[in-house]
Amino acid sequence: MENIRDDLEVFGIMQHELERQRLSLEMIPSENFTSPAVMKASGSVLTNKYSEGYPGKRYYGGNQFIDEIEKLAIDRAKSLFNVPYANVQPYSGSPANFAVYMATCSPNDTIMGLNLSDGGHLTHGWKSSATGQIFKSVAYHVNKDGYIDIDEARRLAVEHKPKLIWIGATAYPRELPFKEFSEIAEECGAYLAADISHISGLIVGKVHKSPIEYADIITTTTHKTLRGPRGAIIMVSEKGIKKDSELAEKINKAIFPGLQGGPHDNTTAAIAIALKEASTMEFAKYARQIVANAKALATSLIKNNISLVSNGTDNHLLLIDLTPFGRGKGIFVQEALDMVGITVNKNTIPMEPSSPFYPSGVRLGTPAITTRGMKEEQMDRIGEIIANIIKISAKYDLPEGKEEKQSALKSFRLDMATDEQIKSSRIRVVEICKKFPLYPNISI
């Protein structure tokens, strides 16, 4: 085939997805829109090459130009984050985090991370993840105010003496206490790994403090606030190298041959481009607007009587607490918002009264809509729409039985499909989207 249009089935589906993105408000905080340059690199001729190993030490021939690209990505990561070592080969955040375990721990070693329903990540030791099954996982939590309970974390670390402590989150709306966790790790002799996947763009944009002087190891995905392709980076700080002079080499071996085969060279090139973009003043301005928008959205929701975990945000995301409407309402709100073209994800909240499948919260954020150029004025209008949809959809109750749940959701979907407020809200969302066009000069 010469053109993707020659495959009408795939082309048609992709065209529908492009239109969905253009006419929807993407508000899942782990999603963003890359630049056209990043997308072109991701779909480039570099997808054809195999490159097991590292620059200058490959197992295949013909890698002289791949070496140049990977070294460029590494140099840009080291410069942007001010670290002495970076590995740009991880396929995504989960393999990057697992490589950290391979480099620092042995099976059955004790590790610590933020509890999943308190905002933590699966790979920080949650029981359904391999990281919670291979290692002895001890979870710390947040206080009733929604902030990390540092005293509890210190007590647990002293008691259990973990080999590795994670500071990082996937649904935590406040600034991360890197300094305090560095002190805890030093007190119990643990490695400290900072997972900044959600906030790396905010860090390089100087709107969130950096963990570089506090953590031994730093991991990040590249597709969230960093606005790059779907990949990841592992970095080691000066502090980490002083702690273990072989740490960088251990991580290299953990990624290859430990966990992965050939790197995705097309993604490596796209990461290099994204890192260059993130080094500009324009990107710093963008990062500031992400946070300004998140705060404005929080103000709008609170004004419309919607509860937020921790009563606000310091970063790019918000976590809506739906328990004032009852338990397990997240699925209703997510699906109703999807119908009006606002994409969010149902999410557990601290002290979750329901289950991860039917949680009592909704997670949303501002990176993607900020990429489109939206500002505080739009956040006020979007917050009003979201609050209205919550009040409509949260009237529905979630039964206990499995069959009863499915029946209730079916009835809910039928009701929402004909609801006049859903229809009018959809029109308002489309109007907002059209004022901030997405990829106006791009066709599939």
The one catalytic residue among 174, 224, 227, 295? 224
Same domain? 247 vs 361: no
Main-chain phi, psi angles of 162, to 5 degrees: -70, 155
The one catalytic residue among 5, 40, 49, 52? 52
Same domain? 173 vs 309: no
Q: Is 230 a catalytic residue?
A: yes
CATH number at residue 199: 3.40.640.10
Q: Is 224 a catalytic residue?
A: yes
Residue 222, both tokens: 């590249």
Q: Is 49 a catalytic residue?
A: no
Q: Under a CB-based contact definition with an 8 Å cutoff, are residues 272 and 72 in contact?
A: yes
Tell which residue, 249, 231, 232, has the closest CA to residue 85. Answer: 249
Q: Under a CB-based contact definition with an 8 Å cutoff, are residues 116 and 132 in contact?
A: no
Question: In this predicted structure, what is the pLDDT of residue 257?
Answer: 97
Tell which residue, 374, 372, 367, 327, has the closest CA to residue 346. Answer: 327
Q: How wide is the angle at C-alpha 308 spanned by C-alphas 146 and 397, nearest 5°?
A: 115
Q: Under a CB-based contact definition with an 8 Å cutoff, are residues 146 and 350 in contact?
A: yes
The one catalytic residue among 5, 50, 244, 335? 50
Same domain? 263 vs 296: no
Query: Average pLDDT of 294-302?
Result: 98
Where among 278, 302, 319 does a domain terminate? 278
Q: Is 50 a catalytic residue?
A: yes
Same domain? 302 vs 241: no
Where among 240, 260, 278 does a domain terminate? 278
Same domain? 330 vs 263: no
The one catalytic residue among 230, 288, 327, 381? 230
Q: Which of 240-249, 353-362, 397-406 has the lowest mean pLDDT?
A: 397-406
Q: Is the pTM of the predicted complex or chain greater than 0.85?
A: yes
Domains in the chain, number: 2
Count of beta carbons in the 10 Å neighbourhood of residue 384: 16
Q: Give the residue numbers spanning the domain of 319.
A: 281-435
Q: Is 415 a catalytic residue?
A: no
The one catalytic residue among 110, 221, 222, 225? 221
Tell which residue, 38, 24, 86, has the closest CA to residue 218. Answer: 86
CATH number at residue 297: 3.90.1150.10
Residue 166, both tokens: 């994670």
Same domain? 254 vs 345: no
Residue 345, both tokens: 């994800």
Residue type, 370: T
**pLDDT tens figures, 73-101:** 999 999 999 999 999 999 999 999 999 99
Judge residue 253's burial from the number of C-beta atoms within 10 Å of its C-beta, 0-12 exposed, 13-18 middle, 19 or more buried: middle
Query: Average pLDDT of 118-126?
Result: 97
In a domain? residue 11: no
Same domain? 285 vs 365: yes
**pLDDT tens figures, 97-118:** 999 999 999 999 999 999 999 9
d(CA 255, CA 74): 15
Instruction: Assign 1 a pLDDT band (cuts: 50, 70, 90).
Output: confident
The one catalytic residue among 26, 70, 118, 195? 195
Same domain? 57 vs 116: yes
Same domain? 95 vs 244: yes
Q: Is 221 a catalytic residue?
A: yes
Main-chain phi, psi angles of 140, to 5 degrees: -105, 170
Mean pLDDT taken over the chain? 97
Same domain? 234 vs 300: no
